[in-house]
Every structure is written in structure tokens, then in C-alpha cells.
Structure 1
Amino acid sequence: MATTQVAQVIAVARSQIGYREGYAEGGWTNIERYALEVPGLSGFQGQAWCMIFTSWVAMRAGVPSIFPRTADCSAGVTYFVNAGRWSDYPAIGGQAFYGTSGQDHSEIVIAYDATYIWAVGGNTSDTGSAEGDGVYVRRRRRTDAVIYGYGLPNYAEGITTADPSLKGVSGYNYAAADAGPGPGTLLRAALLAPNVVTDAVSVGGPLTAGGVAVQQDSLTRIGLDVIGYSGAATAPIVRFRDADGNPVFQIDGAGRIVSAVNANAWRPADQGLIAWTMDPASCTPAGSSLSAGYIYFMEVILRNAATITSLCAVIGTAGSGLTSGQCLAGLYTAAGARVGVTADMSTTWNSAGDKTMNLTSSYAAAAGKYYIAYLHNGTTSPVFAAGSSLGANFTPGNAHLASGSYRFCRSASGQTSLPTSYTMTSATPDANNIWAAAA
């Protein structure tokens, strides 16, 4: 089994031998899978792709930060030269460059002896051309003039090289010849944070300030960037976008897909919000009036950790005769602990419009489920924007939900304040699907 970084790189490279680019109208097209799967390189689809292939291998193997991510061979040479990891001698898992200055072609070395190197490369052919039709393994003489030199990735376990000047140097293992690690078993794919911030591979493990990586079994589509995440121990959430910049899905800390993300759908962040009960554009024109003395709870889901400073509502018709000190909005955890509350809203709710209701103190919320709560007392309730209002006995917004986890629910009557805690299992399901948001 491939367990070291270099063995994993070679296993990934070998797994692609036999892959061919597109063919149309009697010719090869340079249309291949790899450009679309490497963040930042999709714009090079249809062009020479040997460096794109090595970038893909490094990303798929979980070590992208020790290889150049580029479509340009010359830039790859510069990357290794500037890192002080350039040699005239081959190395296992090293990147070979070809041409008078390394500008023509690149491959990954999988073995060498005193006479030959064996390397896997993309955009080559069975004759070793620098412009070919697929992924091949080729044997070349080490003395071939076409070989310009070798980049030596900084593998965690060190790199085995034929360079005698590196004998005894930390991080390098000298060998006049090396057959390489041989066939290996692929580990699961590493999906990395933008621009190769980290090489850590974990599911439900620690999340770093730079990013996080998770695992997937398939080779089919792995060019994913992290665009948001929460490091909460109880509910880590990671959101990904594909190589073209489209949000694609979110996962929880156990690696389960939480939700697909429609790239064309409006999300809270698109309107300057953190979370909402529903897209406000889906609200009915009628809205909902609330019964006095009841606390109405509306569940929202935070996909990422965020600091909540205010709650938001839209009022279509102003309230009247509202009781001072008994018109409030608040924020509760899913377990019913109050973690935020506004000042009195009797004046704010006495007019129609878009309402931003500041919490008395901000709350640093971990990813997870929360309830926004509204309470009013007075003569006439404001009419709040709502998705539907279907009566207390018909609550489709709570479909398939049990007591204690209703999406829309209310307290018993007679409430005059928002308590510091509320037993959510005692809440009654309610069909007033009120629009509420956190910001």
C-alpha cells in the first residue's frame, strides 16, 4: 500500500496511464479532464496540458503545496529553482523538465538507474513526444539532450535522488539507482483549500485558519476549493466550490453531504445576511399577524460559524397599541438557551418596512441550528412577512419533524418577556412560517 507522500504521488500518476484526450474531426483536441479539476487552471482547457497533469496529480495525492500549480513548464522550473530544490540528477517522485530551458514538457519520475529514467507524463505519446494525446509511462536515457533538469519536491519523508552532492544532506536520500515504490494502492482523494493553503487530510478533525481538506473515494471530480467553514467541535461544516467557482455542496464533520448548493439560487450572504428561514422572495403577499402573548420560534441553520449582531424582519402593516417592554426579538440555541435579545421593539414595530433589530450584545455562533424568536403584546400585531399561514392545525413547514425540533413553533400563551431558556419540547407546531433572518 502506498503510505508515503512520494508513493502516493506515483500511485496517482500510474493510475492515469492510458488516459486519452478528446478526439474530433480527425485530430486530438487537448480537451481533457484535468484542467477542469484543478482550481485556477480551467481557463487553460484546450491547451498543452503536461503541467496541468502534474498539478492534478499533486492535488489528487494530497501534496499540492510541494509542486507548482501552473500550466507553464517554465514557471515550474522557476518554482523549483527559487525553492533551492533543482538538480541535474533524477529523483523518485521528482519532476523532470524537457527542452533547452525546461520549457517544452514535464513528467514525474517513477524510477531510474545509471542509464535511464522512467517517468509518467500527460500530453505525451508512446514515442515520448512533448505534444501528444494522453498519459504514458516512458523510458528515456538520462543523457538525452532534451532533458533539462529535475525539480525535487519537498516530501515529508525526504526524496531519493541520484545527485551525489546531496548525499548526507537532511531531507535527501542518495541512491545511484532506485526502482521506485512500485505499484501502490490509492489513498482517498485530498480536497484542498484555495491556492494550496494546507495539505492536511481529515474528516471531522481539526480545522485550521488556512483551510481544511476532506476525503472522497472517486477520481471523477476533485477540483474543489473550500469557501467557508466552521471549526465548531459539535458541528463542523465545510462549503465547497468547483474549479469553475460555482458552489457545489456542503458537508458536516462526519463527511456527510448536508446540502447541495444551487449556484443560481439566492442565499443569505447574497443579501448581506448570515442565515434566514427562507428566501424572502418566496413570502406571500398577505403575511402573518401574531397572537399576543405567544413566543414564536423560527429555526435557522448556520452553515458556518458567524458573529450575529442583529435580527431582521419585514413588516407589511404596522402594529398599533404595542406594549412597551413586551415586544422583543431574541436568539436561542436549538436546545432552548437564549443567547441574544433585542431592546424593546414596540416603537420599531409600529411602522412598516425592513427592520434590523440589534441585539443588546453580539453573539459568536458556531455552525448549527438556532431559533429566532418574536414576542408581541398590544392591541394589534404587526403583519410579518411569511412563507405561508395555514392555521394551527396544518403545519407543512414542520413535515417529518418531531417535538423539540420543529422548524416553526410557539410557546404557551401569557408570555410577557423572552425567558433565558425555554424547553423546546413543550413548544407547539405552528403554521405561521414567518420570515426571519440573522445578520
Structure 2
Amino acid sequence: MATTQVAQVIAVARSQVTYKEGYTEGGWNNIVRYALEVPGLSGYQGQSWCMTFTSWVAMRAGVASLYPRGVDCSAGVAWFQAASRFSFYPALGSQVFYGSGGSEHTGIVYAYDATYIWTIEANTNTNGSTEGDGVYLRKRKRSDTIVYGYGLPAFAEGVITADPALAGVGGYTYAAANSGPGAGTLLRAALAAGNVAADAVSVGGPLTAGGVAVQQDSLTRIGLDVTGYSGSATAPIVRFRDADGGNVFQIDGAGRIISSVNPNEWRPADQGLLAWTMNPASCTPSGSSLSAGFIYFTKIILRNAATISNLCAVVGTAGSGLTANQCLAGLYTSTGTRVGVTADMSTTWNAAGDKNMPLTSAYAAAAGGYYIALLFNGTTSPVFAAGSSLGASFTPGNAHLSAGSYRFCRSGSGQTSLPASFTMSGATPDANNIWTAAA
């Protein structure tokens, strides 16, 4: 996602507005995140941190080499002067220096006109002090005696500056006033910079773990963690959780929440699985036997694209007299196309235990609904771990579901193999809520 470097700097800096330093024993203590996160500056924790903040912003915006790194404002002025990039006129994204020789305080300019500069400054307060408690948006007169001058970073796209001497000079664009990047530009820049969400965000594109801020105004912001992304251009899914790790949820490409779970609850991934019909801890003590010759379909929801290599079930009581090559497990799409099948399970199901049943060929599955199918033929069915089993005429596991989308259903009798396709709308709702999973 293309964006300008100056927009990235301003977006990252603005995202920190309202941040406060530590407070102990009745006073502010200069303990901040920035000193610990900028390489080489951790030893300055507890000291004035306005310059540390600008170093952190540059680092997070991906332009660390364009700003001086350190804690000494005087050294910052000297750094820009040595590069012949110091001016007494403001510029977008410029580092403004205050006080005698620019030694007392610093910040980042995000807009200016003929009279004022608008800045993001750290270690200040609502009064604009050179020592304060947090990160604030400030508005100052350019003519204030405290304003010393500006360092002009060598942005790849050039610098927009109020310095008339730089009009027509390569790498600079003269503008007597500039209101800075708009909200939409700042949002895109923040996404690209990795501060609001890490790396590039696009439908079907890459996203790494990071965070997203839902911002109402310059002072009100709700922070969320982005924990991952998967899917395709037609079915993207982004996973979020709040800063306390609670209320984990996922959204699809249209922005609809497609799942919301308590992070303290066990999920398939917690047991090394991709998806399951239900939490196996909720299975009943008795389990369920299968009727010979029926294919039992159990639906799983795969929230993210994944390769399915194994189907899983738990056998509580072994079967006996199982017919070779007529005891199988398989994987079907929600529309009834078989996309995976296991080898013969007659020996596997002739013993109790956790059953990991490899598909003969792994299947690269898109996010969506799938059916795991079980077929038994023989003398005595294995007893499979299952949820409630309340009789053929009472199937609460299919509540509010219609033909073709049942969660638990079965075929007609007389089946000896798993067909290449099955008409799911013709399946009969079933009360045997068998536990199955994909891995």
C-alpha cells in the first residue's frame, strides 16, 4: 500500500497522543515505553524523553535514518545542521527544536500556516511546557521566542516547507502554508507504517500481527490487537482481540463478525486441531453407535484456509466384526463433493482410543463449512464420542437449520462406500451429535 514517508511519521506520532509516562509516589516519573523500545536508549529511562519519542516515531515509521537518534536536543540540532538540513522555517514532518539553541525541547510538525505550527510533542502538557507528563497535540506561534528552528528530514517524496530559500531546490516544495495529510491518508500511512496495523493490509493480502486503533477523534481511541490473517480475495478473515486478551473475534471481508469467543475457552487450535464439531469435553459418557450402512455427516466450520491432512474421532468402545473396506471416513464440501477419504478403518476402529485418520491425499481447504463423513459396516459398531443423542425424531443440534445445511445428518441405508458426491439436501437430520475434527 503506497504512502508517503511524511504521512507515516505523522500517523505514528499522532497515534501516541494521550500516552502518559509513569506515575509513582504522587508524581510523574519519566518512565515510558519509548526508551525501552529504541535500541541504545534504554539506559536513559527515567530522563526527559521528548527526543526519545521522536527517535521512536522515526523508527516505527520506518525512517529511522532520517531523524537523529538520541536524547539530547542540542545534538539533534547539530545532526541536521551537519547534513545541511536545518531551517528556521517549518516543514511537514520536520523536527522542531525549542529553547536556547534548540536545546530544551522538541516535537514533530504536522501542519503550519503563516502564523502557527501544529505539533505532536512528548514530555509536555496542556500548557506546552518543556517538561510534562505525556504526548500532546500542540499549537504554537511561529514567532514565539521558544521556537528555535526545524530539522528537515530527507523524505523520499521530498519536503514541503515554508522556507522561501528552498523554493525550486531539488527535493523541496515551497508552500507558505500546509494543513498536513488528511484523515484518510493518515489511516493508510498508519497501516503501512505498522503502528496501527503491521505491514500492508489488502483483501487477500498479507497481514502480520500488530494492532488496530479505532479512533473517534484525536483524544479518544480504542486499541485492539490483530492476531493474524488468512483467507483469499473472496473470503478474507482477520482475527482480533482486545488489549487484555478478551473478546477474541473474527471478521470477514465485508466487515461482519463471524465468530466471537471467550479467550479462556478451549478452541480447536488449543488441542492441535483445525476445526471440530464441538468441544470434546462436552461429550456425554455413553457416546453413539452407528447403524450399519448409513453415512453419518458431521459439519465443521473452518474459519481460516488450511490444509487438512487428518480426520479425527474418539472411539470409546471398540467395534467387532467390522467389514473390510466398508468402514471409512471422508471429507466433503458443504455442497456434497468428496474432497478427501481415508484408507480402510476396519482395523483402526476395532480398538478404543483417540483416532487420527489420515486422508489418502491432503486437501488444501478454503475457509468455510465442511462435512466429515463416517461409514460403518459389520457386526457391532464402534461407540464414538458424541454430544447429546435424544432420539431420531428430536435433533436439537440442527436447530434453525434447513435441509442441505444440517449440522448432523445421515444418508439412506445400504451404503458400502463413500460416494464421490452426495446430495446434501437429501440427507436426514440425525440426533447422533458425533464428535469429529479436522487436523
TM-score, normalised to structure 2, is 0.75
Could you tell me which amino acid in structure 1 is paired with residue 93 of structure 2? G
User: What is the CA distance between 1:87 and its match in structure 2?
Assistant: 3.9
Partner residue in 2 for 1:174: 173
DSSP 3-state at the match of 2:387: strand
Q: Is the 8 A contact 2:226 2:238 kept in 1?
A: yes
User: What is the CA distance between 1:358 and its match in structure 2?
Assistant: 0.4
Partner residue in 2 for 1:127: 128
User: What is the CA distance between 1:118 and its match in structure 2?
Assistant: 3.7
Q: Deviations over 1:44-85 (max 9, x none)?
A: x99988689879999xxxx964466xxx97399999x9xx99
Partner residue in 1 for 2:438: 438
Could you tell me which amino acid in structure 2 is paired with residue 139 of structure 1? R
Cα 1:261–1:87 change in 2 (3 A) is farther
Within 5 Å, which residues of 2 pair with 1:141-290? 150=151, 152=153, 154=155, 158-161=158-161, 168-169=169-170, 172-175=171-174, 178-181=176-179, 184=182, 192=191, 200-202=200-202, 205-208=203-206, 218=216, 223-243=223-243, 248-290=248-290
Within 5 Å, which residues of 2 pair with 1:24-423? 65-66=61-62, 74=70, 87-89=85-87, 90-96=90-96, 107-112=107-112, 117-125=117-125, 126-132=127-133, 135-139=136-140, 150=151, 152=153, 154=155, 158-161=158-161, 168-169=169-170, 172-175=171-174, 178-181=176-179, 184=182, 192=191, 200-202=200-202, 205-208=203-206, 218=216, 223-243=223-243, 248-423=248-423
User: What is the CA distance between 1:237 and its match in structure 2?
Assistant: 1.3
Q: CA RMSD in A?
A: 5.0
CA distance, structure 2, for counterparts of residue 356 and residue 101 of structure 1: 72
Q: Is the 8 A contact 2:303 2:367 kept in 1?
A: yes
CA distance, structure 2, for counterparts of residue 52 and residue 260 of structure 1: 39
User: What is the CA distance between 1:420 and its match in structure 2?
Assistant: 0.9
User: What is the CA distance between 1:318 and its match in structure 2?
Assistant: 0.4
Q: Is the 8 A contact 1:229 1:305 kept in 2?
A: no
Could you tell me which amino acid in structure 2 is paired with residue 128 of structure 1? S
CA distance, structure 2, for counterparts of residue 381 and residue 182 of structure 1: 72
Q: Is the 8 A contact 1:201 1:213 kept in 2?
A: no
Q: Is the 8 A contact 2:192 2:200 kept in 1?
A: no
CA distance, structure 1, for counterparts of residue 115 and residue 257 of structure 2: 50
TM-score, normalised to structure 1, is 0.75
Q: Is the 8 A contact 1:192 1:199 kept in 2?
A: yes
Q: Is the 8 A contact 1:192 1:211 kept in 2?
A: no
CA distance, structure 1, for counterparts of residue 292 and residue 260 of structure 2: 38
User: What is the CA distance between 1:200 and its match in structure 2?
Assistant: 3.9
Cα 1:391–1:318 change in 2 (3 A) is same
Q: Is the 8 A contact 1:8 1:187 kept in 2?
A: no
DSSP 3-state at the match of 1:416: coil
DSSP 3-state at the match of 1:269: helix
CA distance, structure 2, for counterparts of residue 389 and residue 422 of structure 1: 24
CA distance, structure 2, for counterparts of residue 75 and residue 154 of structure 1: 22
CA distance, structure 1, for counterparts of residue 369 and residue 336 of structure 2: 11
User: What is the CA distance between 1:121 and its match in structure 2?
Assistant: 2.4
Could you tell me which amino acid in structure 2 is paired with residue 181 of structure 1? S
User: What is the CA distance between 1:339 and its match in structure 2?
Assistant: 0.7
DSSP 3-state at the match of 2:250: strand
DSSP 3-state at the match of 1:307: strand
CA distance, structure 2, for counterparts of residue 257 and residue 233 of structure 1: 17
Cα 1:275–1:367 change in 2 (3 A) is same
User: What is the CA distance between 1:337 and its match in structure 2?
Assistant: 0.9
CA distance, structure 2, for counterparts of residue 295 and residue 188 of structure 1: 55
